[in-house]
Structure 1
Amino acid sequence: MHLAVSLDIAAPSGQAVLDFGQISAFVRKAEAVGVDMVIISDSADEPSTSPFEATTLLAALATVTDRIGLVASASTLAHQPYNLARRFASLDIISHGRIGWNATMQQNPREAANFSRPEGFSDDNFRRRAEEFIGIAHGLWRGWDADALLFDKVGGRFHDPDRMHVLDHKGEFFAVRGPLNVARSPQDTPVLVMSGLNETDRDFASRVADVILIEEESAEAANAATADLRRRALAADRKPEGVKVLLTVAIESEPPIDRLRNLLGSSGCDGFNFVLPADVAALQNFTDRVLPELQPRGLASRTRQGTTLRAHLGLGTGGAK
């Protein structure tokens, strides 16, 4: 059973923003009780009330935590694939293998206007572009074999050319040569989390994602969505258990813990993704009243497998082919 917490650090207009001390204190408490990962939201679509850019915040959080996974939302509209793949690979090295990327398949048309595309993209073009972007990131993360970097001063060899792979991607939207100029990820590839899926996106997500966040109103709908994603993963020659499906639950007040436990047993999913607002009182309520209730009911555990986020989640190597 796996737990994630999605934290929206952008405060509503007129509300005080969270500072780093408040955010880091919350993340450390989540780590102590056994939450697997915290997902930091990010948006570049309008004047921001967020004090931090999400991936920059992850670098800081990596220095004050030891075990919890750190995931940042990053838009395929606001970045180029090479720079974003390089940033996540570097963060994974800093954190000793605890980093993930939450890639949403939902387009925010206002965001595109900040990046030289005031007209945005058609839904179909956005989807194809996002799929190409994610595929490039995975290809770049795999550009160095585990033993490619030799650092052989005596022999004058920095790397073994046979273990370095040039991507040389030329696609519909991007052209990227590669490889990355940072080392291979400590966990093979950073964990890919995908959200905002519609029916059209499910085949792609089942083929490439490590974690899929779903939003369903009932246990029956969650069960059907989870079973569907696992069937698609199997059709893509993946082990169904190699894709973790987490049910998103918005937290506005204290949730009924026993209902969550029953929901987990009947939804077929692998755990929950709790969505919290950027509000000090809400975070305090969650850490003081909700998190302590999760462990005795078997919904959280301080015992984790391995040291990387991929190991915590019981995942193998990255899913993209």
Structure 2
Amino acid sequence: MHLAVSLNIAVATGQTGLTFAEIAGFVRKIEAAGVDMVIISDSWPSGEPSTSPFEATTLIAALATVTENIGLVASASTLAHQPYNLARRFASLDIISHGRVGWNATLRQNPLEAANFSRPAGIPNNDFRRRAEEFIGIVQGLWGGWDADALLFDQAGGRFHDPRKMHFLDHKGEFFSVRGPLNIARSPQDTPLLAMSGLARTDLDFAASVADVIAIEEPPSEGARATCDDLKKRALAAGRTLDALKVLTTVFAPDLTAARLEVWLGAESSDGLIFALPADRSAIDGFTDRILPELRRRDRARPAHGATLRSRLALGAGGAK
């Protein structure tokens, strides 16, 4: 069973957020316990006013320098970025981290975000979802723009790359036009991980066809098992293999008791658990002092093998080809 921690570093306006030293110390502790990845978010999905001491992708760049094994996943909005710049940023982060980075994309619209990006009236939900799907497809296409052996660096022969192994995207869609390719080499793990969350029922076919990890927001139960099985069937219908997708159940860590944790770890209702934590020092200390020892005692958090995040999660190749 795979284990992840989701840490939202946003706090209410006027409150003091976590310091980098606190975040880094916590991430190193869960890394030592064998947790597979940490997912960093820097805003509340409800759209309520909040502040954050760091931007999520900048934070995981810093965390990459003080960790060695744990996967580093950052939430980043499809509205606050352009697909080329976002694809380039995560490709660069993946090189910095030696293949441990992922992007958490959501199809849930933050109601206050559009006004900060020249859209004071917002975006109709259907348009937002179509735009997000197009955005995600472009990012994955750009990640696959260079074959793994495309760059030659042949100074004597005067060849920087093999043109046959560089692929222009030439995307022209409803919302974006992107030529490509990226000016960054292919990811150390083939492509950065794509995680998806905040999915409505109408998003499931798309998510199952492109995501590497899907977070479902329901307690481990028969219902979660049915959702997991449904997503795997949708992935197969999209021409993927069962090892191409992991479905993780999100649980709110501060509410966990040892007995409930044992039940949920044994439920096998999905491929693993995501422990959700707010930017609250007592909640983080409680998780470190109470949950991690339980995981170690039950031998549930053994260090995973594999240098990249994909290998830690036993995932197949990425969605970009």
TM-score range, shorter chain: over 0.9
Is the 8 Å Cα contact of residues 8 and 43 (structure 2) preserved in structure 1? Answer: no
**Corresponding position of 1:141:** 143
Match of 1:97 in 2: 99
Contact kept in structure 2, 1:144 and 1:165, CA below 8 Å: yes
Query: How do residues 261-280 of structure 1 correspond to structure 2 at under 5 angstroms?
Result: 261-280=262-281
Alpha-carbon distance in structure 2 between the residues aligned to 1:300 and 1:258: 17
- Checking the alignment, whether the CA contact within 8 Å between 1:34 and 1:300 is kept in structure 2 is yes
Question: What SS class does the counterpart of residue 146 from structure 2 fall into?
Answer: coil
Normalising to structure 1: TM-score of the pair? 0.96
2:63 to 61, 64, 78: 61
1:212–1:246: 8 Å Cα contact kept in structure 2? Answer: yes
1:149 and 1:218, CA in 2 relative to 1: closer, same or farther beyond 3 A?
Answer: closer
SS at match of 1:109: coil
**Preserved CA contact (<8 Å) 1:72 1:101:** yes
Q: Which string of whole-angstrom CA distances, capped at 9 and with x for unpartnered residues, describes residues 234-255 of structure 1?
A: 11111223211110001224x1
Residues of 2 paired with 1:9 and 1:157: CA distance? 45
Does the Cα contact within 8 Å between 2:251 and 2:275 map onto a contact in 1?
Answer: yes
Corresponding residue number in structure 2 for 1:39: 39
Equivalent position to 1:195, from 194, 197, 205: 197
1:259 alignment counterpart: 260
1:244 aligns with 246
Matched, 1:185 2:149: no
Q: Which position in structure 2 is the counterpart of 1:3?
A: 3
Separation (CA, whole Å) in 2 of partners of 1:17 and 1:123: 31
Q: Is 1:319 aligned to 2:319, yes or no?
A: yes
Question: Number of residue pairs matched?
Answer: 319
Partner residue in 2 for 1:298: 299
Going from structure 1 to structure 2, the CA distance change for 1:222 and 1:264 (only over 3 Å counts) comes to farther
User: Which residue of 1 is the match for residue 51 of structure 2?
Assistant: 49
Q: Which amino acid aligns with 1:91?
A: L
Q: Which residue of 2 aligns with 1:211?
A: 213
Corresponding residue number in structure 2 for 1:107: 109
Change in Cα spacing, 1:113 to 1:317, as seen in structure 2 (3 Å) is: same
Unaligned runs of 5+ in 2: none
| Distance in 2 (alpha carbons) for counterparts of 1:239 and 1:73 | 26
Aligned-partner residue type, residue 240 of structure 1: L
The amino acid that maps onto 1:107 is Q
Q: Give the RMSD, CA atoms, in angstroms.
A: 1.5
For the residues of structure 2 that align with 1:199 and 1:267, how far apart are their CA atoms?
22
- What runs of 5+ residues in structure 1 fail to find an aligned partner? none
Q: State the one-letter code of the partner of 2:316.
A: G
Deviation of residue 118 (structure 1)? 1.2
Q: Closer, same or farther in 2 for the Cα pair 1:320/1:157, shift >3 Å?
A: closer
Going from structure 1 to structure 2, the CA distance change for 1:218 and 1:312 (only over 3 Å counts) comes to: closer
Distance of 2:317 and 2:79 partners within structure 1: 26
Check conservation: 1:305, 1:314, Cα contact below 8 A: no
Deviation of the 1:198 alpha carbon: 1.0
TM-score normalised per structure 2: 0.96
Q: CA contact under 8 A between 2:310 and 2:316: conserved in structure 1?
A: yes
1:82 aligns with 2:84: yes
TM-superposed deviation, 1:47? 5.8
Once the two structures are TM-superposed, the CA of residue 42 in structure 1 deviates from its matched residue by 2.4
1:272-317 per-residue CA deviation (whole Å, 9 max, x = no partner) reads 1011010112111111221121022132111x22100000000011
Instruction: State the Cα distance separating 1:320 from its structure 2 match.
Output: 5.0
Report Cα offsets for 1:62-84 as digits up to 9, x if no partner.
Answer: 00000000000000010000000
Cα separation, 1, equivalents of 2:186 and 2:23:
29
Preserved contact between residue 86 and residue 180 of structure 1 (Cα < 8 Å): yes
